[in-house]
Homo-oligomer: A and B are copies of this chain.
Amino acid sequence: MYTVEECQHRIEKELAAISLPVNPANLYDPVRYMMNMGGKRIRPSLVLMGCNIFVDTIEEAVNPAIAIELFHNFTLMHDDIMDRSEMRRNKLTVHKKWNESIGILSGDAMLIKAYEFLNQIPADRLGEIVNVFNSTALQVCEGQQYDMDFESDSGITIKEYLRMIELKTAVLLAASLKIGALIAGSPAADADRLYEFGRNLGIAFQLQDDLLDVYGSIERFGKQTGNDIVANKKTFLLLTALHRAQGEMMERLTGWMEQKVFERDEKIKAITALYDELNIREITRREITFYQECASRSLNEVQCDTVRKQPLAHVVRSITDREK
């Protein structure tokens, strides 16, 4: 059995071995730049682990794993343009380092590259797995579109928010595991259980991200906290607060949200205090625990030796370890 760390290490090795043409440099340099930015490589690792739960050799899962990582980075490159993000992992985003046209076109090339790696899947499983990949990829686009639509929509419900993060984030983790399982030739029912496992895992991950933006520490989490608060980002925490706040508390909350000019730290402190009064931290933690438990239940139902589930069970626990 491979641990998460061993899978991540294998993925890094494979990514380093990808060979891209030199020219046109403005097309392929940004792809290299993006793929070398690092990251936890969680999605491709899940492909390997989804395979490894059923069979000992993960070789056939490597190419689809690289495809998933290329796809994920393609979405990041295009999302950065749409979100006007200037930095990613302490480096300039592609469209800032080069320009927007290059960000669009290099992203397109990465998506096509992803399909090149997918196309290495053995012929007897190719069609089925590409099918999973395609419908997931479209869902990720739908999630990004809803995310953008929500920015200018003040009436978003918590349910709509959860559906959005499911599409934008969770289904790709789910599909990564399912594709790994299908590569291993697992029964369809078990591949679907792993999909459910990944879907719930992904929602838990995103909610934990929302939580850490407010309650994480910069050393542990690696990014400055409070960015969502400053931007009025409609996270699970803010939507829950808007749902629960009444009277004077609601006035304070919306007052801060409408404020055009403010002291960054002051707003973060004030909103965090409101969250504390409304018990938002505990409510979010309970929500995360709910999705972790859903994930664990699906994992338990997978028909295989319990010991083979250990690495994935460890991933579920690691979500809440990120909080300090």
Contacts and interface: CB of A to CB of B under 8 A. Distances in A.
Interface stretch (A57-65, A125-133, A173-181, A196-204): A125-133
B113 A145 contact: no
A28 to B, nearest CB: 9
Contacts of A105: 78, 82, 141, 144-145, 148
Contacts of A254: none
A92 interface: no
Contacts of A144: 105
Interface string A122-148: 011011001100110110011011101
Contact of A81 (B104, B131, B135, B142): B104
A27 interface: yes
A172 interface: no
A112 interface: yes
A149 to B, nearest CB: 6
Interface string A93-122: 000000011101101110111011001000
Interface of A: 21, 23-24, 26-27, 78, 81-82, 100-102, 104-105, 107-109, 111-113, 115-116, 119, 123-124, 126-127, 130-131, 134-135, 137-138, 141-142, 144-146, 148-149
